[in-house]
A and B are shown apart, each in its own frame.
Chain A
Amino acid sequence: MVTASPDPLLVLTGVSRSYGPLQALKPVDLTVLPGQCIALLGVNGSGKSTLLRIAAGRDTPSSGQVSYCGKPLREDALIARAEIAVAGDASSTYPDLTVREHLLLVAVAHGGGAQAAVLVDSTLAECRLSDHGNALPGSLSSGQRQALQLAAVLVRPRRVLILDEPEQRLDPGARRWLAGLLVKEKAAGAAVLLATHHVELAEAVADEALVLLDGEVVGRGTPGQALASIQ
């Protein structure tokens, strides 16, 4: 019996990005299916974040196309804002709102309604931030701030999760929690696009990995295969 593969959520076709004479990303094709996790590996400046920004619609490729659910992706489109969750981009916080209030704002903005408060409290617990719910974000440690960014993703609905080095500043225990979280997200049907320096995290959660070097894909396959292909 042949199982029909699900329709892809995010399709990048021949996308590249140049800044003047510098080609930060050479043409890349990428298809992200529901329930699939793709990890981007590579040294600093290899083009991982550029590719993620393009996939999130936050940067326009110099060539190629990005489509979401079969339609060209625009960051400002309602569907993109409702369904694509990008973590790690919120560098600033409201100085007068507590951690809990930040999450409440996101949950309500995404239509959380009456359930928003309950959802926020459970997410705070899941992200080990319960004790800091009533604290101002300025008082959090860098690891806790990273956890807040991840919590902001969890209090909203999402079909695609885009994460740029989410393991940064997390302690080993929190990194294990992150791996478990991403596996759960996949199981729930979310597509995950992840840039990371942490090979163990990629091996634990990714179905496919791309290794980038100087903006070019130099290895592709399962995380093990992708890394082996460049060694």
Chain B
Amino acid sequence: MAAQTAEIERADSTDATMRLLRELRRTRSRKQVANLAYWLYLAAFAIFSYGGWLVAAIVRALRRPPPPVADTPMLLRAAPAGLAALALLVLVILLWDARWRGPVVIGQPTADWLLDTPIRRDRLLRPRYRASAARFVLAGGAAGLIPAVLLLAAGLGGSGPADSLRLAGVAMLGTALLAALGAGAAAWAEAHAHAILRVATPAGLLAVTALAGVAALAAAFRLPAVISTVLLWSGPWGWAAQAPVALAGGSAPLWPVATTLLALAAAAAIVLGDRAAAEVPAAVLRARARTLGHMSAAAFNLDARRVTTAYRGAIGTYGRVRLRIRAPRSRQLVLPWRDLTALVRAPSRLAWSALLALASAGLGALAVRAPHAALLPLIGALVLGYLAAAGFCEGARLDGDDPRRSAQLPFRYDTLAQWHAIVPCLALAVLAGCPAAALAIITGHALLLPLIAATIAVLVGGALVNSFRGELEGEMFEGFDTPLGNSSGITIMLWYVTGPLLAVGPMIILWSAAVTAERASRTIPEAVLSAALAAWLVHIAAGRARRLKSP
């Protein structure tokens, strides 16, 4: 076809193109349907083989709902805010999804080969939107089982199968309608107000936290009834909560009105989203298709780190340089400076890690206060502490992802792993260690201080072990056959959790021994053992780093 000088005549070629694409891809579509059927079969098989007891328990609970218990009135008081929080969480998840992927999403080849042709965008994009919305509604309906099961377990499921089925039905209907509302709103935002999504997700999360806080307060104290009423009418999340609250015995007399309002809002949003789907800009579609392409490739290789990197690129974690730290003159301070810079350039990760560190300190204090029931808080404290340490180890992770990045630095690659321990140790010491130490001193457990310090080093050591794990090797996928199936699944899982397993596992035992010790002075051996464990973990991390550089 030659170039043209006059304006090009544009006949609508949409039907012909879509027909051709369907024809060309018919074999692939058949394979996809067959694959889907296979996965559905596998899921059903797994549920009935391994989760049969759970299905049986749910059926039993539906037929004979558990009777109310002593705590039931307290849970009923918390239900309006608690259910509204869960409902709002459904919306927030959909808006978060729209921030980087969205209901209107096409594959990379379609973006590259069809977006800049003159076919009608509505024919290309609306089917995608409708399929996504249908999936969201199904998933939303399934998510409704969570509040239903919680209410049933709390003895709020009524007196017979009809009551419990009705409760489960309205809970699922509410979340399904919310999902429809979210899908429509997300498509509209993708097309017209993408910037809103950046603000909506954290704001929504804050609101969920606030609602959860109100639920906790309502459970602990008798709050004025007007608070529940305001929450239940505060928006679609409240409307969705009204029917389950009413059927569980709470006060929501106008729940049919609320459900109707929710259904109307969902229908309006779906229609609005359908119109907006055709108007999502090509640049947005192209960027998302690229992100999904990268994520799918990484997920196919079970490379969680690359999946995260692609996601961060999509939401613009490294989009702008907001903060600068002046580079040091001393060689010894170069890596701490680099690690600090990695932390301040991604403030959300820093904030999450700080939050986890504080929560870890709180749970640790709880464990020390109640030694007879210390195990669960201890496990929680150590797991959260490990996650915080992993967040603070971002500089090490970046070097571990690609050894070439540090090729020009004047450090051996194995000693690099040790240098990377400084900033995470300091950060964890400030954010978790200091509060924990202060609580220990106040409550008369000052001799725990060496153990707290050693624990920080152990958790960072474990995080460093994982930071330098390198890429998943092809051999791991092969595995070997055992009577319980191929070993590759276990091998890959172990490869992922080596760091936390080596750090958190022994520390649970050492801390359990320390908090149940009759005399605090007996915690010194645990502290010494922990310090040795920390040194060993850093040694392992250095060894892994060495192997990464010269495999």
Question: Is there a chain B Cβ closer than 8 Å to A219's Cβ?
Answer: no
Tell me if A111 and B10 are in contact (CB < 8 A).
yes
- List of A residues within 8 angstroms of B320 by Cβ: 20
Q: Contact check, A78 vs B118: say whether CB atoms are below 8 A apart.
A: yes
Q: How far is the CB of B116 from chain A (nearest CB, A)?
A: 5
CB < 8 Å: which of B3, B27, B112, B114 contacts A185? B3
> Is the CB of A166 closer than 8 A to any CB of chain B?
no
Inter-chain contact A158/B3, CB cutoff 8 Å = yes
A221 contacts the other chain (Cβ, under 8 Å)? no
Interface residues of B in 305-330 (CB under 8 A from A): 320-321
Q: How far is the CA of A46 from the CA of B209 in the complex (A)?
A: 48
Tell me if A109 and B1 are in contact (CB < 8 A). Answer: no
User: Contacts of B283 on A, CB cut-off 8 Å?
Assistant: 58-59, 75
Q: Given that A20-B320, A75-B283, A82-B118 are known contacts, is A105 also in contact with B8, CB under 8 Å in the complex? A: no
Contact A109 B117 (CB under 8 A): yes
20 further A-B contacts with Cβ under 8 Å, apart from A90-B112, A156-B117, are: A69-B7, A78-B10, A91-B108, A92-B109, A92-B112, A93-B109, A96-B27, A97-B24, A97-B109, A105-B17, A105-B20, A105-B113, A107-B1, A108-B17, A109-B118, A110-B118, A123-B1, A157-B3, A188-B3, A188-B5
A20 proximity list for chain B (CB < 8 A): 320-321
* Residues on the A chain within 8 Å of B2, using CB: 188
Establish whether residues B13 and A94, one from each chain, have CB atoms under 8 Å apart when the complex forms. Answer: no
Other-chain contact of A110, B3, B24, B117 (Cβ < 8 Å):
B117
Q: Which residues of B contact A110 (CB under 8 A)?
A: 1, 13, 117-118
- Whole-angstrom distance between the alpha carbons of A161 and B1 in the complex? 13
Once A90-B113, A111-B13 are accepted as A-B contacts, the answer to whether A96 and B28 lie under 8 Å apart by CB is yes
CB distance from B86 to the nearest CB of A (A): 38
**From A75, A94, A95, A123, contact of B113 by CB (8 A):** A94
Docked complex Cα distance between A218 and B338 (Å) = 37
Binary flags per residue of A12-50, CB closer than 8 Å to B gives 1, else 0 = 000000001000000000000011000000000000000
B293 to chain A, nearest CB (A): 6
**Chain B nearest Cβ from A59, distance in angstroms:** 8
A89-B112 contact, Cβ under 8 Å, with A81-B117, A109-B13, A111-B10? yes
Nearest chain A CB to B300 CB, angstrom units? 12
Point out the residue from B5, B10, B11 that lies within 8 Å of A159, measured CB to CB: B5
Nearest CB of chain A from residue B304's CB, rounded to whole Å: 23
Q: Which residue of A lies closest to B17 (CB)?
A: A109
Contact B13 A159 (CB under 8 A): no
A10 at the interface (CB under 8 A from B): no
Q: Which of B1-51 contact A (CB under 8 A)?
A: 1-5, 7-11, 13, 16-17, 20-21, 24-25, 27-28
The answer to whether B4 touches A157 (Cβ under 8 A) is: yes
Contacts of B7 in A (CB 8 A): 69, 79, 83, 159
| B67 beta carbon closer than 8 Å to chain A | no
- Chain B: which residue is nearest A59 at the CB level? B283
In the complex, which residues of chain B have a beta carbon less than 8 angstroms from the beta carbon of A79? 7, 10
In Å, the complex CA distance between A75 and B115 comes to 10
The interface bits of chain A over 100-115 (1 if a CB of B lies within 8 angstroms of the residue's CB, else 0) are 0110111111111100
Contact bitstring B114-126, A, C-beta under 8 A = 1, else 0: 1011110100000
Q: Does B235 contact A (CB under 8 A)?
A: no
Chain B residues within an 8 Å CB radius of A131: none
> How far in angstroms is the closest Cβ of chain A from B104?
13
Residue among A92, A123, A159, A190 with the highest chain B CB neighbour number at 10 A = A92
> Of all chain B residues, which has the CB nearest A21?
B321
Evaluate contact between B13 and A75: CB separation under 8 angstroms.
Answer: no
Q: Mark B467-499, 1 if CB is under 8 A from A, else 0.
A: 000000000000000000000000000000000
Say whether, besides A81-B118, A86-B116, A105-B17, A157 and B281 are in contact (CB < 8 Å).
Answer: no
CB contacts (< 8 Å) of A154 on chain B: these are 1
Partner-B contacts on A (CB < 8 A): 20, 34-35, 58-59, 69, 75-76, 78-79, 81-84, 86, 89-97, 101-102, 104-113, 119, 123, 152, 154-159, 161, 185, 188-190
Give 10 CB contacts A-B under 8 Å: A20-B320, A75-B281, A76-B282, A86-B116, A101-B24, A108-B13, A110-B117, A159-B3, A159-B5, A161-B3
> In whole angstroms, what is the CA distance A59 to B4 when docked?
25
- Whole-angstrom CA separation of A96 from B30 in the bound complex: 13
Q: In angstroms, how far is the closest chain B Cβ from the Cβ of A85?
A: 8
Q: In the complex, A123→B2 CA distance in Å?
A: 11
Closest Cβ–Cβ distance, residue A21 to chain B (whole Å): 8
> What's the minimum C-beta distance from A46 to chain B, rounded to whole angstroms?
22
Cα(A206)–Cα(B494), bound, Å: 60
Given contacts A58-B283, A97-B24, A108-B20, contact A157 B116 (CB under 8 A): no
Name the B residues within 8 Å of A158 (CB-CB). 3-4, 8
CB-CB under 8 A from B114, the residues of chain A are: 105, 109
Is the pair B109, A111 in contact by a Cβ cutoff of 8 Å?
A: no
Min CB–CB distance A119 → chain B (angstroms): 6
Do the beta carbons of B282 and A157 come within 8 Å of each other? no
- The verdict on A92 contacting B108 (CB below 8 Å), with A76-B121, A109-B13, A157-B8 known, is yes
Q: Is A159 a contact of B4 with CB atoms below 8 Å?
A: yes
Ranked 9 nearest A-B pairs via Cβ? A190-B3, A189-B5, A109-B117, A90-B112, A188-B3, A92-B108, A109-B17, A82-B118, A94-B109
Q: Known: A81-B118, A109-B117, A159-B5. Is A96-B108 also a contact (CB below 8 A)?
A: no
A160 to chain B, nearest CB (A): 9
Given A75-B283, A91-B112, A157-B8, check contact A189 B16 (CB 8 Å).
no
A119–B1 Cα distance when bound, in Å, is 7
> Are B10's CB and A82's CB within 8 A?
yes
Docked Cα-Cα span, A94 to B24, in Å, equals 11
- B112's nearest neighbour on chain A, judged by CB, is A90
Instruction: Please determine whether B20 and A104 come into contact, CB atoms closer than 8 angstroms.
Output: yes
- CA A112 to CA B3, docked complex, whole Å: 14
Q: Which partner residue on chain B sits nearest A155 by CB separation?
A: B1
